[in-house]
Amino acid sequence: MTPAIELQGISKAFGPVHANKDIALRVLPGTIHGIIGENGAGKSTLMSILYGFYRADAGEIRIHGTPVTLSDSQAAIAAGIGMVFQHFKLVENFTVLENVILGAEDGRLLRPSLAKARKELRALAEDYGLNVDPDACIEDLGVGFQQRVEILKALYRKADILILDEPTGVLTPAEADQLFRILRRLRDEGKTIILITHKLREIMEITDTVSVMRRGQMTATLPTASTNPEDLAERMVGRKVLLRIEKAPAQPGATVLDVQNLCLQDATGVARLKSVSLSVRAGEILGIAGVAGNGQSELLQVLGGMRPAQGQVWLNGQPIDIATPRADARTRRALGIGHVPEDRQREGLIMQFSAWENSVFGYHHDSGWQRYGIMQNAAIRQAAAAQMHRFDVRPPNPALEARHFSGGNQQKLVVAREIERHPQLLLIGQPTRGVDIGAIEFIHQQIMALRDQGTAILLVSVELDETLSLSDRIAVMFDGQIMGERAADATDERELGLLMAGMAPAGGA
Amino acid sequence: MGKMPNWADAVLVPVISLLLAAILSALVILAIGEDPLAALQLMVKGALGSSYGWGYTLYYTTNFIFTGLAVAVAFHARLFNIGGEGQAMLGGLGVALACLYIPWPHWALALVGATAAAALLGAAWALLPAYLQARRGSHIVITTIMFNFIASALLNYLLVNVMRPKGSMDPATAKFAQATHLPTLHDMLAPLGIAFSKSAPANISLLIAVLACGAVWVLIWRTRLGYEIRAFGHSEPAAHYAGINATRITVATMLISGGLAGMMAINTTMGEAERLVLNSVEGAGFIGIAVALMGRSHPAGVLLAALLFGFLYQGGAELALWTNIPRELIVVIQALVILFTGALDNMVRMPLERLFIPRKPSIKKG
């Protein structure tokens, strides 16, 4: 059988860095092929070569047996390659239909193109189960649907090879499941799909074959059925990796955080938190599970002092002000509440600041870091260098701007900053989102060590695996409410999944 | 994301932009039938060829340093203060009030008092736009521009109806007292045995401007307030996460910015005119935007860019005086410099980056 894609000896260097070294790849038509590797392993470079963004320094590309030169994305589209980027390339205030024909209009007048596209979309929807309202505005669509539009765009351009770059990074578990259903259907209809990801579970769940990349090289290509997550992780990182953290039973102490009847309405009057009550004791981790958008983010923001709310909150038995705008993130830090925000790039770090400037971000009022309003830069720099060493941040260069670190190392910068303050209470949101496996293991160990030192930890994560393996107790949020609370070792994904869907299982909370 | 070496970013980009502007200006001069080389010679000679020329060049430079710093400080908080013009006008009012109504025993004390008054009124003029931006979301570009017109009208009213001495036909205040007259560069350099033109207006304000550059550098890169200003400018959500109060930073930044713009008046009003006249700012507030852009919002860059624009101003005036090149062409040349160094910055930067980055690999290439 002629492979749909055949790469031979593909190399690409950026200066002395070999982003891709002598890559060979064969993908048979009608299969889903996973490419897995840590950040910086060369996955994106390889796909950029396939989509005509970069020219390879050496090597050959064959599509369905025909050698091709992919000088730009137009050439890639002509060769039948479609790409769905991690960050969508859609015009927010255009309709689905307008986005689909954008750049592929048939003539100067839009009407015939739109009519044709409408017909085509209907056919595509029937063939692959890709249902989207063609007249809906992109900004009114959920993320999952926006992604469908990206897929439709590729299919409308007659792609029969579809490349998806980290497609589930922005999706809820349910949306991811729907995406996988669509991908399977596309495969069954004869399309070839390349899935780039760093999530082992997705590889195991959906791919037929998988290639592992490490440091610019393709280290293995194997049938998915013949491998397992531990094996893949080892091939990715180059050493044995603990996928499930080993933890001692918690030794909970006194109650540190006590929340009663916390309520929050957003600017449009919609209730985001509905009478939430929970408590966290010293030396234990309370995990909040739930599908993204059910109030977990708001809970973290309220406790972290980023938005006022109604209700009572006690820290170590002392009531704290959560209602007035005076109660900001700074006062919360002064009380000993650390906060690893859900979005490290938007909130946790100033991307243009150096690592050392970021190392005191939020704590820049502390007397060690400033005196009479003058920043003690030498002291900060020194402390940051030591901290980066302890947290194995790479490269260990405090002068480097945050944006030049990989996602995992950025997260280490944030986690290090918040953990090393030894907070009474640590709020931690999506600790390992977009972080590669080696760093995940490290961050999990740090969180555990902090728990064992007696810090109360409130963990929010959309990764149910992570919540299950880290938490001592798990509270499930749905529609702004706590649906129930379980001991982590007395529950499973099925039970939590029901709670996450808003169904209270028999037996009650 | 690649990064050019620092020297290329700080030196090469502006130099190439300048060269492009110069070439285009030369073509324009050619097109109207004049000799560009001779014009350049005349500009250099007029602006830098004598201590008289230097005296004017440095006088303009002083203005542009103040207004350039004002815009640069605001830029660090990602605020676009277009109101330098109005804030400088109010600064002039401050200088006039301080010099006219307080019997200063010595110019040094008068300078301190007038500087404070100028900064105070300049800052006050920025306060309302800052507050409206922070609490009401009224865009600061719009409000500061409108405040320029209000300032102009206010000064017009005050100079015509209130502060004009009885019997004078001129919309200006009375001359300031002798004790408030600032030493010029001639006075300052004479004890050192350096002869400097007596009639050039450059004065001790130049030193204040240079000191202000140092102060702004300390503020932005060494103080906690500067840290917060930069953090807020780079990312508002992150600043909020860190507990940095948006209102406080917006207002504080704009007060400093307005104060710096206001301080320009010690040069024009106290140092040169020695009374407050109508339109004493002469567009320096707007030039400050170009100066800040070209100086990359860094005080050292602002200093150099101010010097360049000082040269263009004085050289341009000479050109208009001695050749058939019309006054309007000088504006064209200045506009070209602004266009290339400010607005078209990326046009030079991007090809340059491409030139540098293949050789300097960036850290992450996924």
Question: Could you tell me if residue B107 is inside a domain?
Answer: yes
Same domain? For B100 and B128 the reply is yes
Question: Could you tell me if residue B41 is inside a domain?
Answer: no
Same domain? For B94 and B132 the reply is yes
Nearest CA in chain B to A306: B241
Q: Please tell me the distance in Å from A370's CA to the nearest CA on chain B.
A: 7
Question: Could you tell me if residue B355 is inside a domain?
Answer: yes
Please choose, from the candidates A500, A458, A504, A508, the residue with its C-alpha nearest in 3D space to the C-alpha of residue A294: A500
Same domain? For B248 and B349 the reply is no
Same domain? For B152 and B118 the reply is yes
Number of Cα atoms under 13 Å in the Cβ half of residue A448:
16
Please choose, from the candidates A72, A80, A205, A94, the residue with its C-alpha nearest in 3D space to the C-alpha of residue A149: A94
Q: Please tell me the distance in Å from A496's CA to the nearest CA on chain B.
A: 30
Same domain? For B20 and B140 the reply is no
Q: Please tell me the distance in Å from B4's CA to the nearest CA on chain A.
A: 13
Nearest CA in chain A to B360: A15
pLDDT of residue B3: 59
Same domain? For B308 and B334 the reply is no
Please choose, from the candidates B239, B300, B323, B243, the residue with its C-alpha nearest in 3D space to the C-alpha of residue B43: B323
Chain A residues lying within 8 Å of B249, measured CB to CB? none
Nearest CA in chain A to B218: A374
Q: What are the helix and strand counts (H, E) for chain A?
A: 16, 22
Cβ–Cβ of B242/A346 closer than 8 Å?
no
Establish if B223 touches chain A: CB-CB under 8 angstroms.
Answer: yes
Interatomic CA distance for residues B35 and B21, integer angstroms:
16
Q: Which domains does chain A have, with CATH numbers?
A: 5-237 (3.40.50.300), 255-353+421-500 (3.40.50.300)
- What is this model's ipTM? 0.86
Same domain? For B195 and B223 the reply is yes
Question: Could you tell me if residue B138 is inside a domain?
Answer: yes
Chain B residues lying within 8 Å of A347, measured CB to CB? 235, 237-238, 240-241
Q: Please tell me the distance in Å from B5's CA to the nearest CA on chain A.
A: 13
pLDDT, tens only, A288-312: 998 778 899 999 999 999 999 999 9
Question: Could you tell me if residue B43 is inside a domain?
Answer: no
Edge-to-edge strand list for the sheet holding A318-320 = A271-281, A255-265, A310-315, A318-320
Q: What are phi and psi for residue A62, nearest 5 degrees?
A: -120, 130
Render each residue's pLDDT in chain B as its tens digit; 366 residues. Answer: 345 677 777 778 888 888 898 899 999 989 988 889 998 999 999 999 999 999 999 999 999 999 999 999 999 999 999 999 999 999 999 999 999 999 999 999 999 999 999 999 999 999 999 999 999 999 999 999 999 999 999 999 999 999 999 888 899 999 999 999 999 999 999 999 888 988 899 999 999 999 999 999 999 999 999 999 999 999 999 999 999 999 999 999 999 999 999 999 999 999 999 999 998 998 999 999 989 988 889 999 999 999 999 999 899 888 888 888 887 787 888 788 888 877 777 778 788 877 776 544 444 433
Question: Could you tell me if residue B176 is inside a domain?
Answer: yes
Domain that holds residue B340: 1-34+324-366
Same domain? For B319 and B360 the reply is no
Same domain? For B186 and B93 the reply is yes
Contact A272/A297 with Cβ under 8 angstroms?
no
Number of Cα atoms under 13 Å in the Cβ half of residue A338:
22
Same domain? For B139 and B209 the reply is yes
Of B227, B240, B365, the CB nearest to A375: B227
Interatomic CA distance for residues B141 and B123, integer angstroms:
16
Interface-testing mutation among A39, A44, A303, A364, with chain B (most B C-beta atoms within 10 A): A364
- Which stretch of DSSP H or E encloses residue B230? helix B224-234
Nearest CA in chain A to B238: A347
Cβ–Cβ of A404/B363 closer than 8 Å?
yes
Establish if B235 touches chain A: CB-CB under 8 angstroms.
Answer: yes
Confidence of residue A463 (pLDDT cuts 50, 70, 90): confident
DSSP code string of B6-40: HHIIIIIHHHHHHHHHHHHHHHHHHHTT--HHHHH
Kindly report the pTM of this predicted structure: 0.82
Contact A86/A166 with Cβ under 8 angstroms?
yes
In sequence order, the 6+-apart residues with CB closer than 8 A to the CB of B50 are: B197
Least-confidence region, from A168-177, A442-451, B133-142, B185-194: A168-177
Nearest CA in chain A to B3: A404
Percent share of chain A, pLDDT over 90: 60
Same domain? For B189 and B306 the reply is yes
Same domain? For B233 and B281 the reply is yes
Chain A residues lying within 8 Å of B231, measured CB to CB? 350, 353, 361
Cβ–Cβ of B241/A347 closer than 8 Å?
yes
Question: Could you tell me if residue B109 is inside a domain?
Answer: yes
Chain A residues lying within 8 Å of B360, measured CB to CB? 15
Q: Please tell me the distance in Å from B253's CA to the nearest CA on chain A.
A: 15
Residue B175 sits in a domain whose CATH number is 1.10.3470
Contact B133/B253 with Cβ under 8 angstroms?
no
Establish if B240 touches chain A: CB-CB under 8 angstroms.
Answer: yes
Q: How many domains does chain B have?
A: 2
Question: Could you tell me if residue B154 is inside a domain?
Answer: yes
Q: Please tell me the distance in Å from A40's CA to the nearest CA on chain B.
A: 4
